[in-house]
Amino acid sequence: MRPRAVVYCLCAGLALWLCFEYGSTVRWLITTEEAVDGDPCNLHVDSPPTHSLRGRVLGVDEGLQELAEQGFTVTDDDESVFNLHVVLLYDNVDLKSLCAAESAVMQMCAAAPDDNARRPARLWLWTLDVERFRREHRDVVEELERIAGDAARDVKIVLHKVDLVELFAETPLSTFAQVFAEADVEFPSQQRANAIRLAIIYKFGGMYMDADVLLLRDPSMLPNGMSKQDQNSYNNAVFKFNKGAPIVYMMMVDFVLHFDGLAWGANGPQLFTRIVTRMCSCRADDYPAMASRGRNVRALRGIAGHMPFGEAVGDTLAHGATLACSGGQGRLQMWPPLQIYPVPWDQTDVFCQSRDEAFERFPALAADNVQMVHYWNSALKKKECDQGLCQQGIARYSATFLGGLKAQLCPLVLKETMASKQC
């Protein structure tokens, strides 16, 4: 055979192999889309390098191609039980991280008695060692269980072991261990947590919430969706979807295909931003008006009652938006960012200031419709101010913005933290 013919045969074979191996990979996972001028929901996001496991991810060829072609619908929250999940991955769970759990119990138990709030609620605390967790934090866990048991609403606390093999089984994350082994990985706990939260919501449904979030309202009142942390990117600290949501499946596929073990946030906020940007575009009809019927615990302004959640049109940071996804066949709610992330991640020193100083710097904190406060613990620890003030005693600490929030939203955990000197 002539050399030129050999080259032609090799090229043809290579082309056939590429088509077979990669041809049906979903386009939106690997295609960069240009931003739409004046559209704050549609961003320009470059695709990261694709991991070597592309084509071997569960369902990427058949399931995702079908979803991409047919579109998807993020259905309303129609689950009979509201599930709220908090993941506590460290072997020795920090007592302070239970503030999120206490604030959740308080809000769910104190919810206004309407039909939606009356449905049963479950707080899932996911940890590596359930028995050790209960033993080390027995007083707090038992008191929270007592509060939940005394509530008119059916509220229960579920302690659940994190079993990665079981949790990732029959999902695209079943290859997670192989990805981890093949990649250079920094921040391993954070990388695992990013994967775990996706699998939990996909298999169990409900809302995921980071352990450095304090709730001011009943979280079951939020519709399915997520929020931006600023004008440019979404965040995965809090999100809510039904069990088996296709968008969460797509996020798990992207997690494996584009896994980056060296960059903080690459498999979290950046992943969420990639998926929503490629699948959805912002319609200028803003967030639909809805009543937030959860009870405000007066932590911010000393005001309780029924507050509007997104009543006006205008800036999507203040009012959120409805996103049209996958050819207009699906809808996704973007919660108003200023009600979810009222303090930017790089401004955490405000938590060490007084409440009045915090309100002056970030007026959104003084709004009556703030749903929660994410205090960005990883960034806050670098400031070293919170720990120092905490060590000065509960009176001094409670005078700070964050200390005052904790005194209102998680008084039990704050008291135990001070008593055990675990600042």
Distances in whole angstroms, Cα of residue 298 to Cα of each of 311, 368, 371: 21, 9, 12
Q: Which of 158, 157, 151, 84 is nearest to 112 (CA)?
A: 151
Whole-angstrom distance, CA of residue 413 vs CA of residue 339: 24
Distances in whole angstroms, Cα of residue 127 to Cα of each of 101, 130, 189: 13, 6, 12
Residue 166 pLDDT: 92
Could you give phi then psi for residue 105, rounded to 5 degrees? -60, -45
Residue 71 pLDDT: 43
DSSP code of residue 404: H
Residue position matching structure tokens 């955490």: 348
Q: Rounded to an integer, what is the distance from CA 135 to the centroid of its chain?
A: 28
Write the single-letter amino acid at 315.
Answer: D
Whole-angstrom distance, CA of residue 202 vs CA of residue 373: 25
The two three-digit tokens of residue 373, written as one number: 């406060």
Residue 273 pLDDT: 92
Give this prediction's pTM. Answer: 0.79
Whole-angstrom distance, CA of residue 323 vs CA of residue 264: 27
Residue position matching structure tokens 């639909």: 288
Q: What pLDDT tens digit does each residue of the chain (423 aa) get?
A: 565 665 455 555 544 443 333 333 333 333 333 333 434 444 444 444 444 444 344 444 444 444 444 444 455 666 789 999 999 987 678 898 999 999 999 999 986 656 555 789 999 999 999 999 999 999 999 999 999 999 989 999 999 999 998 999 999 998 887 777 777 788 888 889 999 999 999 999 999 999 999 999 999 988 889 999 988 889 999 999 999 988 899 899 999 888 888 888 889 999 999 888 887 765 433 333 322 333 333 333 332 222 222 332 234 556 677 777 764 446 788 898 889 999 999 999 999 999 999 999 999 888 888 999 999 998 888 877 777 777 788 888 999 999 999 999 999 999 998 888 777
